């Protein structure tokens, strides 16, 4: 009796240990690159390019790379560009996506299922399949090499995404709520605005958060559709202007890469709950 209880406890401790070892394993492999980028961005050049120094430590910290980045490059400009493009395209997509999701999830009419399928399929289309003809179309519209080009093309992947995510949220709200408002004489749109949307705020926030991230991180359209240096988005600016043929400013580059990721990481730390919920909704419901 005693022996079996001991072996049970032993197994339990072993299980605990293996869980924490597993966690440690994932922390190391998934976060090491960030640690190394961080270290590199604060390291003076004579340490950075000296093979006899420990690559994982810093002897004397420096802010030189960051000062150079903010003063000598267009970093701030690109940051503004990325923010503007992400805010506008997210705004457009949230509005259009919310009403589309309401319609697809709640209303009954002919073709509603087919429409839902169209949205789902366009959600899966990778941007790299379309960027060449899209550049051609955008040029014919006279929008080539303008920020507007990004603001109108990003919704092509943001709208399907927001719609799909928000359809799940709409389905979770009991129909009786709006029906009771409509019995009181409200139209559907009024019921949507006054009863449903306030409940939908968490869903809309998480869709907006996702959409902002997706447009902040977008690369292929930004690379092909906005080529003038002053209108580039942050990722494209850093990759195409700071990586100079043979001379790498590794300290500056690592600083730029980290700073460019900070807005996204901050958003997440504030809205993590919403994010995991949104991702879960997306994953479980497909």
Partner 1 sequence: MQITQSQGKRRPNPIRSFSKWFNQEKVLGPALVAPALLILIVLIAYPFSVGIWLSFTDKQIAVTDSGRFIGIQNFITLFKNSIFQRTTLNTFNYAVGSVFFKLVLGMLMALVLDKVRLFKNFFRGLLLLPWIVPTSLSALGWLWMFDSTFSVFNRLLLDAGLIQEKIIWLGRPAIAMFSLQVVNVWRGIPFFGISLLAGLQTIPEDLYEASEIDGAGAWRQFWNVTFPLLMPVTAVVTLYSIVQTFADFQIVYVLTRGGPINSTHLFATLTHQTAILAGKLGEGAAVSLFMFPVLVVSVIFLLRYLQREE
247 binds partner 1 per the rule CB under 8 A: no
Minimum CB distance to partner 1, residue 201 (Å): 19
Range in contact with partner 1 (rule: CB under 8 A) among 61-69, 71-79, 168-176, 247-255: 247-255
Residue 240 token pair: 């195409």
CA torsion, points 212, 217, 222, 226, in degrees to nearest 10? Answer: 70
Residue 58 · residue 47 · CB < 8 Å: yes
Binding characters for partner 1, 53-82, by CB under 8 A (x = yes): --xx--------------------------
Q: Which of 5, 109, 176, 246 binds partner 1 (CB under 8 A)?
A: 109
Place of tokens 């019921």: 191
Closest CA to 226 of 161, 129, 131: 131
Which 194-223 positions form the footprint of partner 1 (CB under 8 A)?
213, 216-217, 219-220, 223
Which 178-197 positions form the footprint of partner 1 (CB under 8 A)?
187-189
Binding characters for partner 1, 145-184, by CB under 8 A (x = yes): -------xx-xx--xx--x---------------------
Residue 144 token pair: 């080539």
Q: Which of 88, 119, 181, 231 binds partner 1 (CB under 8 A)?
A: 119
99 binds partner 1 per the rule CB under 8 A: yes
Chain-centre distance for alpha carbon 187? 36
Q: Which of 17, 121, 177, 244 binds partner 1 (CB under 8 A)?
A: 121
The smaller minimum CB distance to partner 1, of residues 63 and 125, is found at 125
Minimum CB distance to partner 1, residue 89 (Å): 11
Range in contact with partner 1 (rule: CB under 8 A) among 58-66, 134-142, 169-177, 193-201: 134-142
Helix, strand, coil percent values for the chain (each to nearest 5): 80, 0, 20
CA distance to 26, 33, 222, 224, 276, per residue, from 273 (Å):
21, 25, 30, 35, 6
Which 10-29 positions form the footprint of partner 1 (CB under 8 A)?
15, 19, 22-23, 26-27, 29
The smaller minimum CB distance to partner 1, of residues 231 and 274, is found at 274
Closest CA to 155 of 86, 225, 82: 86
> Assign residue 138 a region: left if phi > 0, alpha if psi is -120 to 50, beta otherwise?
alpha
């Amino acid at each position: 009796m005693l022996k079996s209880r001991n072996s049970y406890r032993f197994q339990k401790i072993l299980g605990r240990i293996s869980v924490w070892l597993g966690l440690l394993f994932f922390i190391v492999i998934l976060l090491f690159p960030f640690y190394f980028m961080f270290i590199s961005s604060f390291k003076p050049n004579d340490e950075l390019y000296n093979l006899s120094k420990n690559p994982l430590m810093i002897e004397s910290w420096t802010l030189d790379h960051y000062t150079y980045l903010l003063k000598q490059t267009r970093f701030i400009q690109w940051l503004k560009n990325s923010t503007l493009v992400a805010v506008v395209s997210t705004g457009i997509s949230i509005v259009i996506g919310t009403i589309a999701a309401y319609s697809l999830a709640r209303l009954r009419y002919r073709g509603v299922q087919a429409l839902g399928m169209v949205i789902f399929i366009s959600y899966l289309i990778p941007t790299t399949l379309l960027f060449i003809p899209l550049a051609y179309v955008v040029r014919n519209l006279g929008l080539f090499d303008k920020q507007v080009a990004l603001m109108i093309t990003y919704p092509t992947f943001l709208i399907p995404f927001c719609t799909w995510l928000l359809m799940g949220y709409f389905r979770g709200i009991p129909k009786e709520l709006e029906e009771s408002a409509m019995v009181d004489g409200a139209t559907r749109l009024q019921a949507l605005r006054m009863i449903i949307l306030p409940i939908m705020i968490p869903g809309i926030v998480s869709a907006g958060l996702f959409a902002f991230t997706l447009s902040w991180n977008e690369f292929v359209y930004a690379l092909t559709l906005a080529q003038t240096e002053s209108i580039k988005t942050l990722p494209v600016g850093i990759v195409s202007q700071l990586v100079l043929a043979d001379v790498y400013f590794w300290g500056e580059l690592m600083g730029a890469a980290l700073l460019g990721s900070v807005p996204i990481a901050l958003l997440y730390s504030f809205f993590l709950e919403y994010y995991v919920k949104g991702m879960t909704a997306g994953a479980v419901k497909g």
